[in-house]
């Protein structure tokens, strides 16, 4: 028996680990770090903006989620918001989370001035990817849906991050984009140092502010990925679940109010995925 | 007026949806649905404690209305006064139960009178004396006393829940009570 075998953490066992391994349950656990943002995008799921309630997870909770996610058998973590880097603890929290599981953190990419760039430099040594929104290859069209000066700040930040060895993904969120425009957008992200494999294009989902403005695709529960999503308000069926509409948190995709121990919402989500009747896992509450 | 919101019908959480499948399930469920993992364990228990079982429908409603009256729960008294009528109690009996005062005059069955005395002890708070238990056990089997006591205790929990959250009585229940002279 090798030394490596002796010291390695045992592989998680149990129903969640099995469900993830079998593809019954997605492997990623998302956390909404916060809901406030320095921008107020037209299609924002959470009606985020500078003056909204923060609904923030503290770093200790986030790390506990990451730790328990790993122990249960999940394979990846996602951190979203709001603008995640409005939380001063975010660089160090991402480092800590990545010691448990690989992390993707979503950001609008507009806050990476000199000081924040210095703070995120340790992420280059970690299994962390920063996913930055960039919707269009032209500043005026991009900024119309997002915020003034968004385009300029993103195209300045991405090369700085890439230069520091930090993995950057580009996320494009659009109702539609024609081939010529997409070609120019892809040329741009390649120029910024982001390969095609790290560029994702996703539709606008008609929830939150997008619903108010009549934008995007109508989606029901079965259309949305069942990635367990932890917020300050509870655990939800995927990151498209804990949306805000007219200042009210949507609860139609709420799974449990309990978030820790993570096993409680994870088992409830698994029960939903397996179609078991509610309450069948009620013995969990006897402790 | 400050009030705790009940889940709107377009915002029903996933685990709670089966309880809304046939429409509005009422204010207790709509309040508990805010915490779906609590709802899914509480409702089967409440349903078993207060619903059909080895104890008669009539006996359970005697316990529920009387307990609720003693606890001063407007919602539970009004809601279950209607159910008690459906369970075969007369308007006079329901009126006596919901008065929170002496109710024995409206009943003549010794077993029901013993049950009333037991409910007054259980729901009244304070010590329960051996003589109280002996009195109810002369008319009811051990397992029946266990279940009837669980009915009273569960009702007390719901009494405080409904009173604290100021749950509204359904309009059709109020109409029925009005027609029966029970408002």
Most distant pair of Cα atoms in chain B: their distance: 53
Q: Is A271 inside a domain boundary?
A: no
CATH superfamily placement of domain B57-179: AhpD-like (1.20.1290.10)
Instruction: Using CB atoms, pick whichever of A250, A256, A277 lies closest to residue B36.
Output: A256
Please count the residue pairs, one from chain A and one from chain B, whose beta carbons lie less than 8 angstroms apart. Answer: 55
Residues in chain B within 8 Å Cβ distance of A278? 15-16, 18, 36, 39-40
CA distances from A234 to A32, A181, A241 (A): 10, 39, 11
Asked if A268 and B15 come within 8 Å (Cβ–Cβ), the reply is yes
C-alpha–C-alpha distance, residues A112 and A37, integer Å: 14
Q: Are A279 and B44 in contact (CB under 8 A)?
A: yes
Number of domains in chain A: 1
Q: Is A13 inside a domain boundary?
A: no
The two structure tokens encoding residue A60: 């200790």
Residues in chain B within 8 Å Cβ distance of A277? 18
Q: Is A106 inside a domain boundary?
A: yes
Average pLDDT on B24-35 reads: 96
**Which pTM value belongs to this model?**
0.90
Give tens-digit pLDDT for A120-154.
Answer: 999 999 999 999 999 999 999 999 999 999 999 99
Q: Is A145 inside a domain boundary?
A: yes
Average pLDDT on B136-147 reads: 98
Asked if A252 and B43 come within 8 Å (Cβ–Cβ), the reply is no
Instruction: Using CB atoms, pick whichever of B10, B34, B44 lies closest to residue A252.
Output: B10
Residue A56's CB: how many other CB atoms inside 10 A? Answer: 20
Over 50: is that where the pLDDT of B168 sits? yes
Instruction: Using CB atoms, pick whichever of A237, A257, A264 lies closest to residue B14.
Output: A237
Instruction: Tell me the CA end-to-end span of chain A in Å, nearest whole number.
Output: 38
| Full domain range(s) for residue A119 | 29-265
pLDDT of residue B2: 75
Q: Is A236 inside a domain boundary?
A: yes
Confidence of residue B84 (pLDDT cuts 50, 70, 90): very high
Closest CA to A82 of A44, A117, A120: A44
Residues 6+ apart with CB under 8 A from B104: B113, B116, B117
Q: Write out the residues of chain B at the interface with chain A, using a CB-CB cutoff of 8 A.
A: 7, 10-16, 18, 34-41, 43-44
Question: Which residues of chain A register pLDDT less than 70?
Answer: 1-8, 276-287
C-alpha–C-alpha distance, residues A148 and A213, integer Å: 19
What CATH number did the domain enclosing A250 receive? 3.20.20.70
Residues 6+ apart with CB under 8 A from A30: A77, A78, A79, A80, A227, A228, A229, A230, A238, A239
pLDDT of residue A284: 31
Sketch the domain layout of chain B as residue ranges.
Answer: 14-50, 57-179
Asked if A264 and B37 come within 8 Å (Cβ–Cβ), the reply is yes
C-alpha–C-alpha distance, residues A245 and A239, integer Å: 15
pLDDT of residue A9: 73
């Amino acid at each position: 028996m090798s030394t490596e075998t002796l010291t390695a953490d045992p592989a998680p066992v149990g129903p969640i680990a099995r469900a993830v391994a079998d593809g019954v349950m997605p492997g990623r656990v998302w956390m909404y770090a916060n809901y406030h943002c320095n921008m107020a995008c037209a299609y924002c799921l959470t009606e985020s903006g500078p003056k909204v309630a923060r609904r923030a997870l503290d770093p200790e909770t986030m790390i506990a989620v990451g730790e328990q996610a790993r122990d249960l058998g999940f394979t990846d973590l996602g951190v979203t918001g709001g603008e995640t880097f409005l939380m001063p603890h975010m660089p160090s929290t991402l480092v800590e989370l990545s010691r448990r599981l690989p992390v993707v953190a979503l950001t609008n990419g507009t806050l990476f001035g000199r000081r924040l760039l210095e703070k995120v430099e340790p992420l280059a040594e970690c299994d962390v990817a920063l996913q930055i929104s960039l919707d269009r290859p032209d500043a005026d069209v991009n900024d119309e849906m997002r915020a003034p000066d968004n385009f300029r700040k993103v195209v300045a930040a991405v090369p700085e991050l890439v230069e520091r060895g930090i993995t950057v993904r580009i996320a494009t969120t659009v109702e539609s984009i024609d081939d010529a425009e997409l070609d120019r957008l892809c040329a741009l992200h390649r120029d910024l140092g982001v390969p095609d494999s790290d560029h994702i294009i996703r539709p606008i989902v008609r929830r939150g502010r997008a619903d108010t403005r009549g934008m995007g695709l109508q989606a029901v529960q079965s259309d949305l990925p069942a990635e367990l999503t932890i917020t300050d308000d509870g655990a939800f069926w995927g990151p498209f679940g804990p949306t805000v509409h007219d200042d009210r948190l949507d609860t139609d995709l709420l799974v449990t109010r309990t978030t820790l121990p993570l096993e409680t919402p994870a088992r409830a989500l698994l029960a939903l995925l397996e179609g078991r009747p509610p309450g069948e896992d009620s013995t969990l509450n006897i402790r | 007026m400050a009030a705790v919101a009940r889940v709107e019908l377009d915002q029903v959480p996933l685990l709670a949806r089966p309880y809304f499948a046939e429409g509005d399930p009422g204010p207790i469920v709509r309040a508990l649905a805010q915490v779906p993992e609590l709802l899914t364990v509480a409702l089967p228990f409440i349903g078993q404690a207060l619903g059909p079982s080895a104890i008669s429908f009539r006996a359970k409603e005697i316990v529920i209305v009387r307990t609720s009256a003693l606890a001063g729960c407007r919602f539970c008294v009004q809601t279950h006064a209607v159910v008690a009528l459906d369970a075969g109690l007369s308007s006079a009996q329901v009126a006596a139960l919901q008065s929170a005062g002496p109710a024995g005059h409206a009943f003549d069955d010794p077993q029901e009178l013993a049950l009333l005395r037991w409910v007054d002890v259980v729901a009244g708070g304070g010590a329960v004396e051996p003589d109280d238990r002996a009195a109810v056990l002369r008319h009811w089997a051990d397992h029946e006393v266990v279940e009837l006591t669980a009915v009273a205790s569960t009702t007390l929990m719901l009494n405080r829940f409904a009173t604290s959250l100021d749950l509204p009585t359904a309009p059709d229940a109020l109409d029925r009570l009005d027609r029966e002279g029970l408002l």
